[in-house]
Structure 1
Amino acid sequence: MRARIDEIVFDCHDPAPLARFWAGILGGDPVDRGPGWSYVDPPEGIRIAFQRVPEGKTAKNRVHLDLDAGDLVAAADAAVLLGAVRQGGVVADEQGRFQVLLDPEGNEFCFVSPGDGAPAG
Structure 2
Amino acid sequence: MGRIFLEYVSCEVVHVCSLCRTHLADHDSIISKAFQGRHGRAYLFSDVVNVSTGPRENRLLLTGLHVVADIYCNKCETRLGWKYVEAFEETQKYKEGKFILEKAMIAKEEERQNFDTFVEILPSTLTAAA
Q: Give the TM-score normalised by structure 2.
A: 0.32
The structure, 1 or 2, with the larger RCO (C-alpha pairs under 8 Å, 6+ apart) is 2
Q: Which has the higher strand share?
A: 2
Q: Give the TM-score normalised by structure 1.
A: 0.34
